[in-house]
Amino acid sequence: MSYRTLLKDHRGLLGIAFLAMFSSSLGQSFFIGLFQAPIAERLGFSAGEFGTAYSLVTLVAGFAVLRLGPSIDWVAPRRFALAILSALGIGILLLTASPWWPLGVLGLGLVRLCGQGMMSHLGNTLAGREFEALRGRALGLAGMGLMLGETLLPPLVAGLLVWLGWRELWWALAAGLAVLWGMSLWAAPWPSAPRTRPERGAASRGPRPFRDARFWRLLPLLMTLPVAMTGLFIYQAQLTSAMDSSLAVYSLALTGMGLAKLPGALLGGHWVDRLGPVRLARLYLLPFALGLVLALTQGGPLAVWALMVGGGLAMGSQESIATSLLVRLWGPENLGRVRATLSAAMVFSTGIAPAVLGVALDLGASFSLVLAGMLALLIGGWWLAQGVLRQAVA
């Protein structure tokens, strides 16, 4: 079935997943970073204090996703979405209007939890659970919601800030999303939960990924790209210096990364359906691996482009592959629990990675050594996952 037919027959459900992924933009780092200075000023924080608070609320949000995310397996998705939207709205009001900094930090935490955490969890879980033969394509289309946010919102914010203050801009965006969600909650074909809520004590009979060796052997493969790209985003100055390039080249390459995500998502979803997620899991990191090899052996602006575009291609396809693998290994009825565990692990790792890399650089490690460590993590994660991937085929 083509993407056109999929959109024709399932546009309502795909629209919900797409809207959830787009709405997650309000809690993503790229969006909050656009308002870092005015938010820090309102809270009375220095740049360093804001960074510390941001890391802390991100880690707390990761624990909350681990706790709350599995409920989508037994809570009706429409009610689940309504709860997230309500908490997100409260978070935006606290962040933008509260006169006390503790409430402002609480609002920032709710925006991170309900935006990046629970909205993306809702979109990916619905797309991954409600489709079988078309799962890869559905996940690819849903993921384009976040890609649209990454592409559209930064220039839109820059243009609107000429007429609006930053708080009024947040309220306007929230109001626009509220209208779209109101129409979806009223008219869209919402599915039911796949099973009923387990009785007290019965949850232990479900999958417990942190106690499953398969999850730990698969995690490094799925964690490599987010950790590595976070490091390249945070330490872009050190990257361009080590590659004998410039921040101007990096900025253009960052745009190239965003554009590369689109074919990564569409082709990745198509190939997941045709070839299966196991084959793709063995191959999808190859563009980023080639970028790392080029950076280590050649350097120069071309290496920066190779890292960003290779990372974009792999990032575009990763969600389709990862979610399809989770369904293959643990079943669609348990996807909420397993995806929540994976999401929490990703949040923890990407929250800790900048600090670890920063300490390594402070201790005198060259950025080339950091890139070599990323390549070693990629190869080690690929090798460690092979046994689990063979089980997923069986």
The model's pLDDT over 60-70, given as tens digits with 9 standing for 90+, comes to 888 888 888 88
The pLDDT tens digits for 36-48 are 788 888 888 876 7
Task: Write phi, then psi, for 188 (nearest 5 degrees).
Answer: -75, 155
The pLDDT tens digits for 10-21 are 888 889 999 999
The pLDDT of residue 302: 92
Look at the chain and count its residues: 394
234 pLDDT above the threshold of 70: yes
Q: What is the mean pLDDT of residues 278-282?
A: 90
Which domains are seen in the chain, by residue range?
A: 1-191 (1.20.1250.20), 209-394 (1.20.1250.20)
Q: How many CB atoms lie within 10 A of CB 202?
A: 9
The fraction of the chain above a pLDDT of 90, given in percent, is 29
Contact 25, 149 (CB under 8 A): yes
Q: What is the mean pLDDT of residues 145-161?
A: 85
Q: How many CA atoms lie within 13 A of 392 on its CB side?
A: 27
Q: What is the mean pLDDT of residues 227-254?
A: 84
Q: What is the mean pLDDT of residues 132-150?
A: 84
The pLDDT of residue 329: 87
The pLDDT of residue 71: 87
**What global pTM score does this model have?**
0.79
Q: How many CA atoms lie within 13 A of 171 on its CB side?
A: 9
Structure tokens that stand for 337 in this block: 């629990």
Q: How many CB atoms lie within 10 A of CB 187?
A: 10
Mean pLDDT of the chain: 86
State how far the Cα of 280 lies from the Cα of 301, in Å rounded to an integer.
29
State how far the Cα of 190 lies from the Cα of 75, in Å rounded to an integer.
12
The pLDDT of residue 253: 85
Question: Any idea which residue has 């995806």 for tokens?
Answer: 339
